[in-house]
């Protein structure tokens, strides 16, 4: 460690080369991670802006700001941007890109040029989608259900679908890169069971990227084909079956949910041990459960189709599988909780986010059990119950973990500390605002409020107002980190290589790291999270 600290600060990855071209043509995984970071942040606030407009609109039963056409476009674009241009690339392409080579002691990902290409493809897809948005938007819902999307919608379906199709290739490239890297580029001594859980989870995520994304690509291509040439693939008027579209769409889109949550679990699995100073409880179970989620996650998509015209027997099989996939998630939650018992728990911001994640993910996961129960799903599916459920997973789970991860690795990425007090405050605001926004939506759904309604019966107004109030608080909670992290980039105090006294390899090099990550390839002799074994180095005890 002492040798790495001696490296002059001038040669870190941020300062080694200067100029805009050095960023646009970089093949350094850390810089590409940052390029992704800036892009998804921008997309997040675009998608968030749509969400704010929607919540404002729903203050009164008849809607206050926009007409139904615009409202429909708002929720569609909110969904498309948040799912494909924020959530899916969020953790893997930013933190994953930045950290995977460092965590396994490699100089870079296996295919650095492919990595850069993935960012360009992502941006191209984003540009095409935004172009469709500027031209007038899309109103099909992010799910593109046929025959509405292929025949009846008069909006820019092809543009939006093409944008998603293109950006899908960036996911595939990232997935190929991660799998090859994790298999072939590990430092000497770094066996599979010495890997941080972060790597296991990203490995599982990459499996989904590689095996599910192409199915979405081909499905959207068929939708475009059908819409452009007016031929029958899914259109019942021409012999097609719209339910087949739903099967193919959800074959990708359900595993895609695990693309969003597995990396979040990855982040939390790093934060909790470090801020409890205790190895993760039941390492093997947590590691395998990531892979189990990825594999079994492919067998459950039909639970989106329980009332869609799927056969009853098929629905039963999918319901059964859905309960099976809940088990590895449950195991993880229990193991994280057990890790904290009798630890040395710090209340730093990343840990606050991790604890928030634990609570919200538990609620989100458990309401998933309601939706997997066939008889209950009939009532609550396609209502605000579902909306609340997946926001608890994706916002309460994935975004909380993402923010936690950004704070945790911020010292490594920027070399500077963020303002701790302000950060804790914003973590609290996010937690409270989130619950106020989405908990009322569970109640709304149970009472029968269908989703995607631009106007609603009067009796639902009170809960909608609560939800909108919560959204305004949540918005503040998201803008705050944006401001103070930018501030901290320039004015934060120097972090030093290992401010959290963490055990991972990424903390054994300078902050910010040198372009080659490590001066000499590290040799690993310990399991992950071995605080006891590293207590001399970390000055603990």
Tell me whether residue 48 or residue 101 sits nearer to other proteins (CB atom): 101
Nearest C-alpha neighbor of 319 from the set 299, 333, 295: 299
Counting Cβ atoms within 10 Å, is residue 188 exposed (0-12), middle (13-18) or buried (19+)? exposed
Binder to other proteins among 183, 482, 493, 519 (CB under 8 A)?
183
Considering the rule CB under 8 A, would residue 225 count as an interface residue with other proteins?
yes
CA distances from 212 to 22, 52, 499 (A): 33, 31, 38
SS3 sequence of 50-69? HHHHHHHHCCCCCCCCCCHH
Tell me whether residue 8 or residue 541 sits nearer to other proteins (CB atom): 541
Binder to other proteins among 52, 117, 185, 432 (CB under 8 A)?
185
- Tell me which DSSP letter residue 314 carries: H
Q: Pick the stretch among 47-55, 261-269, 302-310, 422-430 that binds other proteins (CB under 8 A).
A: 302-310
Considering the rule CB under 8 A, would residue 487 count as an interface residue with other proteins?
no
Which SS3 state, helix, strand or coil, does residue 372 take?
helix
- Tell me which DSSP letter residue 343 carries: S
Considering the rule CB under 8 A, would residue 499 count as an interface residue with other proteins?
no
Binder to other proteins among 66, 218, 443, 473 (CB under 8 A)?
218
Measured CA to CA, the distance from residue 401 to residue 353 in angstroms comes to: 6
The interface with other proteins within residues 70-99 (CB under 8 A) comprises 72
Q: Shortest Cβ distance from residue 380 to other proteins (Å)?
A: 8
Q: Other CB atoms closer than 10 Å to residue 457's CB: what's the count?
A: 11
Tell me whether residue 24 or residue 228 sits nearer to other proteins (CB atom): 228
Q: Shortest Cβ distance from residue 178 to other proteins (Å)?
A: 10
Considering the rule CB under 8 A, would residue 396 count as an interface residue with other proteins?
no
The interface with other proteins within residues 94-133 (CB under 8 A) comprises 106-112, 114
Considering the rule CB under 8 A, would residue 59 count as an interface residue with other proteins?
no
The interface with other proteins within residues 413-472 (CB under 8 A) comprises 446-448, 450-457
> How many whole angstroms from its chain centre is CA 476?
20
Q: Shortest Cβ distance from residue 19 to other proteins (Å)?
A: 21
Nearest C-alpha neighbor of 67 from the set 523, 468, 454, 472: 454
Which SS3 state, helix, strand or coil, does residue 416 take?
strand
Tell me whether residue 1 or residue 369 sits nearer to other proteins (CB atom): 369
Considering the rule CB under 8 A, would residue 217 count as an interface residue with other proteins?
yes
Considering the rule CB under 8 A, would residue 170 count as an interface residue with other proteins?
no
Q: CA geometry: angle at 287 spanning 282 and 290, to 5°?
A: 125
Binder to other proteins among 34, 37, 46, 139 (CB under 8 A)?
139
Tell me whether residue 217 or residue 488 sits nearer to other proteins (CB atom): 217
Q: Shortest Cβ distance from residue 41 to other proteins (Å)?
A: 28
Binder to other proteins among 120, 230, 462, 537 (CB under 8 A)?
230
Tell me whether residue 216 or residue 266 sits nearer to other proteins (CB atom): 216
Can you read off the two tokens belonging to residue 190?
């770094």
Mark residues 194-213: x for contact with other proteins by CB under 8 A, - for none: -------------x--xxxx
Q: CA geometry: angle at 338 spanning 333 and 343, to 5°?
A: 130
Binder to other proteins among 5, 25, 134, 540 (CB under 8 A)?
540
Nearest C-alpha neighbor of 350 from the set 397, 398, 280, 410: 410
Mark residues 503-532: x for contact with other proteins by CB under 8 A, - for none: ------------------x---------xx
The interface with other proteins within residues 253-292 (CB under 8 A) comprises 276-285
SS3 sequence of 229-283? HCCCCCCHHHCCCHHHHHHHHHHHHHHHHHHHHHHHHHHHHHHHHHHHCCCCCCH
Buried/exposed code over 341-364 (b: 16+ C-beta within 10 A; e: otherwise): eebeeeebbbbbbbbbbbebbbbb
Considering the rule CB under 8 A, would residue 347 count as an interface residue with other proteins?
yes
Nearest C-alpha neighbor of 382 from the set 320, 300, 461, 444: 444
Q: Pick the stretch among 18-26, 351-359, 390-398, 415-423 that binds other proteins (CB under 8 A).
A: 351-359
Q: Shortest Cβ distance from residue 454 to other proteins (Å)?
A: 5
Considering the rule CB under 8 A, would residue 383 count as an interface residue with other proteins?
yes
Considering the rule CB under 8 A, would residue 333 count as an interface residue with other proteins?
yes
Q: Other CB atoms closer than 10 Å to residue 371's CB: what's the count?
A: 20
Can you read off the two tokens belonging to residue 365?
């996961």
Binder to other proteins among 344, 483, 519, 526 (CB under 8 A)?
344
Count residues near other proteins (CB under 8 A): 146
Q: Pick the stretch among 128-136, 137-145, 402-410, 428-436 that binds other proteins (CB under 8 A).
A: 137-145
The DSSP H or E segment spanning 77 is: helix 68-80
The DSSP H or E segment spanning 379 is: helix 374-380
Tell me whether residue 65 or residue 479 sits nearer to other proteins (CB atom): 65
SS3 sequence of 218-243? HHHHHHHHHHHHCCCCCCHHHCCCHH
Can you read off the two tokens belonging to residue 303?
């639970």
Mark residues 231-250: x for contact with other proteins by CB under 8 A, - for none: xxx--xxxxxxxxx--xx--
- Tell me which DSSP letter residue 187 carries: P
Which single residue is written with the structure tokens 């998201």?
478
Considering the rule CB under 8 A, would residue 157 count as an interface residue with other proteins?
no
Q: Shortest Cβ distance from residue 40 to other proteins (Å)?
A: 22
φ, ψ dihedrals at 512, nearest 5°: -65, 155
Tell me whether residue 20 or residue 239 sits nearer to other proteins (CB atom): 239
Q: Pick the stretch among 127-135, 148-156, 408-416, 427-435 that binds other proteins (CB under 8 A).
A: 148-156
């Amino acid at each position: 460690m002492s040798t790495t600290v001696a490296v002059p600060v001038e040669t870190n990855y941020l300062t080694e080369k200067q100029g805009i071209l050095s960023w646009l043509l970089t093949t350094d995984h850390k810089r590409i991670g940052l390029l992704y970071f800036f892009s998804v942040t921008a997309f997040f606030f675009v998608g968030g802006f749509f969400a704010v407009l929607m919540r404002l609109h729903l203050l009164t039963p008849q809607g206050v700001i926009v007409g139904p056409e615009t409202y429909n476009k708002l929720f569609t674009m909110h969904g498309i941007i948040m799912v494909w241009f924020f959530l899916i690339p969020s953790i893997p392409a930013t933190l994953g890109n930045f950290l995977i080579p460092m965590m396994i002691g490699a100089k870079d990902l296996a295919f650095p040029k492919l990595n850069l290409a993935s960012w360009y493809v992502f941006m191209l897809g984003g540009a095409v989608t935004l172009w469709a948005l500027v031209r007038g938007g899309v109103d099909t819902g992010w799910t593109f259900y046929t025959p509405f999307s292929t025949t009846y919608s008069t909006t820019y379906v092809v543009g939006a679908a093409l944008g998603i199709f293109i950006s899908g290739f960036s996911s595939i490239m990232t997935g190929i890169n991660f799998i090859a890297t994790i298999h072939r580029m590990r430092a000497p001594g770094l066996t599979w069971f010495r890997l941080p859980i972060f790597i296991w989870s990203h490995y599982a995520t990459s499996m989904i990227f590689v095996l599910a994304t192409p199915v979405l690509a081909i499905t959207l291509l068929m939708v475009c084909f059908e819409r452009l040439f007016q031929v029958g693939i899914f259109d019942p008027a021409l012999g097609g079956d719209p339910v087949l579209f739903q099967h193919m769409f959800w074959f990708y889109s359900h595993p895609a949910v695990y693309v969003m949550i597995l990396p979040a679990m990855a982040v939390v699995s790093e934060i909790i041990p470090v801020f409890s100073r205790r190895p993760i409880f039941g390492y093997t179970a947590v590691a395998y459960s990531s892979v189990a989620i990825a594999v079994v996650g492919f067998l459950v998509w039909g639970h989106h189709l329980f009332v869609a015209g799927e056969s009853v027997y098929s629905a039963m099989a999918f319901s059964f599988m859905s309960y099976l996939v809940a088990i590895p998630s449950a195991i993880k939650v229990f193991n994280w909780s057990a890790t904290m018992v009798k630890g040395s728990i710090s209340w730093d911001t990343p840990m606050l986010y991790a604890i928030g994640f634990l609570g919200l993910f538990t609620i989100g996961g458990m309401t998933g059990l309601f939706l997997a129960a066939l008889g209950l799903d009939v009532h609550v599916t396609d209502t605000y119950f579902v909306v609340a459920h997946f926001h608890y997973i994706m916002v309460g789970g994935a975004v909380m973990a993402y923010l936690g991860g950004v704070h945790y690795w911020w010292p490594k990425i920027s070399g500077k500390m963020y303002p701790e007090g302000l950060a804790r405050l914003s973590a609290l605001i996010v937690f409270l605002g989130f619950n106020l926004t989405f908990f009322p939506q569970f109640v709304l759904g149970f009472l029968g409020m269908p989703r995607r309604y631009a106007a609603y019966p009067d009796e639902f107004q009170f809960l909608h107002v609560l939800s909108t109030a919560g959204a305004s608080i949540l918005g503040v909670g998201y803008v705050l980190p944006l401001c103070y992290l930018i501030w901290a980039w320039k004015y934060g105090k120097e972090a030093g290589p290992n401010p959290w006294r963490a055990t991972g390899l990424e903390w054994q090099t300078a902050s910010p790291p040198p372009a080659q990550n490590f001066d000499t390839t590290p040799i690993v002799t310990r399991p992950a999270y071995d605080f006891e074994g590293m207590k001399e180095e970390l000055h603990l005890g």
